Amino acid sequence: MEAMGTVLTRAELLAIKDVVVPLAEAVGRWAKAECEAHYRGQADVNVSSKTSPGDVVTRVDYESQRRIAEALGSAYPGFGLLGEEGGLADFDGDAPVWVIDPIDGTHNFVRNYPAFCVSIGLVQGGESVLGVIYHAADDEATWAITGAGAWRGGVRLEREDDRPLSHALVTTNFTPSMLEVPAQTTFFERVASASAGVRASGSCCRDFCFVADGRVDLFWQFGLSPWDVAAGMVIAREAGGACEVWQGGEDWLRSKVTVAAGTRRAVADAREFATELGLLGLG
């Protein structure tokens, strides 16, 4: 399929979804097998650190991205490609862009902790229009298309509850920006104390899916990259949740972003804290 100057239709996106879902599942299951072999001492995934001991990359990250990019590049030669590993940044402002996180939660992957995902998002005109996330622990893909809902295993995900922050189970992950901006730590303390409980999974893609299926009522994270959020944002929104970009929204494919997703009341309650602390719209 060549690049299109107009917005992709729902029928076109559904046809694309039928290619992307099995691709994410195949790559994710291969990665899961590699993870289990590594944990048993039967394979070496070549772990190395990028910026810190917790920020790691493996040969499986690179190979997963290669497989995904090769398949998508072949099927949709006019679309751009943006990925976390190996400097994959071939896109412009007009064509749809594939945004790939080949292994979200690599530290979890290395430790065989059941919280890593393969994430593929499609962005057009600055908006996420399709998202597919394979969660290794569930061995299932969650997907969403703008205007067609969020789905997993043939079941539509529809949030009908609207818990406030006081009754919310919340989740977040800790990024280097929290060490650099004291107000972000203060925000965490306020949200944690105002909520019903806090979890940290190490995979924001998993957290978006948990927002969509009702297991989590609020997820936020500072200083994310576009591949962390491209698929998850459309999934959360199409499931009926709120999803807001608090920082980096104008050109988020080329910047760090801060997002919040969850029930509308929980996101609104958290936004009040963020506003008081000056954490909205800072780039």
CA 184 to CA 256: how far, in whole Å?
15
The verdict on 113 and 16 lying in the same domain is: yes
- Say if residues 43 and 37 touch (Cβ distance below 8 Å): yes
205 and 92 co-located in one domain: no
Residues 132 and 178 in one domain: no
Structure tokens at 207: 């957290």
Tell me, yes or no, whether 112 and 29 share the same domain: yes
Question: What's the CATH number where 59 sits?
Answer: 3.30.540.10
Same-domain check for residues 224 and 100? no
Q: 124, 157, 190 — which closes off a domain?
A: 157
The answer on 82 and 201 residing in a single domain is no
Q: What is the CATH number of the domain that holds 252?
A: 3.40.190.80
Share of the chain above pLDDT 70, in %: 97
Q: Number of structural domains, the chain?
A: 2
Q: How many residues does the chain have?
A: 283
What was the pLDDT predicted at 37?
96
Residue 220 amino acid letter: W
**Domain limit, last residue, from 134, 157, 180:** 157
Instruction: Give pLDDT tens digits for 258-279.
Output: 999 999 999 999 999 999 999 9
Annotate the chain with three-state secondary structure: CCCCCCCCCHHHHHHHHHHHHHHHHHHHHHHHHHHHHHHCCCCCCCCEEEEECCEEECHHHHHHHHHHHHHHHHHCCCCEEEECCCCCEECCCCCCEEEEEEEECHHHHHHCCCCCEEEEEEEECCEEEEEEEEECCCCEEEEEECCCEEEECCEEECCCCCCCHHHCEEEECCCCHHHHCHHHHHHHHHHHHHCCEEECCCCHHHHHHHHHHCCCCEEEEEEECHHHHHHHHHHHHHCCCEEEEEECCCCHHHCCEEEEEECHHHHHHHHHHHHHCCCCCCC
pLDDT digits (tens, 9 = 90+) for 179-223: 889 999 999 999 999 999 999 999 999 999 999 999 999 999 999
Token couple for 75:
């099927």
**CA neighbor of 227 nearest in space, from 59, 17, 69, 21:** 69
Q: Are residues 45 and 98 in the same domain?
A: yes
Task: Give CA–CA dist 12/31, Å, rounded.
Answer: 29
d(CA 139, CA 225): 25
- Contacting residues for 52 by C-beta, under 8 A, at least 6 apart: 176
Residues 117 and 213 in one domain: no
Q: How far is CA 176 from CA 67, 108, 173, 189, 214, in A?
A: 29, 18, 10, 17, 28
Please indicate, yes or no, whether residues 143 and 171 belong to a single structural domain of this protein.
no
Whole-prediction pTM value? 0.94
Phi, psi at residue 75, to the nearest 5°? -75, -30
Do 36 and 150 reside in the same domain of the chain?
yes
What pLDDT score was predicted for residue 283? 43
Q: Which residues contact 22 (CB under 8 A, 6 or more apart)?
A: none
100, 128, 157 - which closes a domain:
157
Average pLDDT, 10 consecutive residues per value, the chain (283 residues) = 68 98 98 96 90 85 97 96 88 90 96 95 95 97 97 96 97 85 94 97 96 98 95 98 90 92 98 95 57
Which domain covers residue 215, as residue numbers?
165-276
| Residue 86 domain-assigned (yes or no) | yes
Could you give the CA distance from residue 14 to residue 199 in angstroms, rounded to a whole number? 34
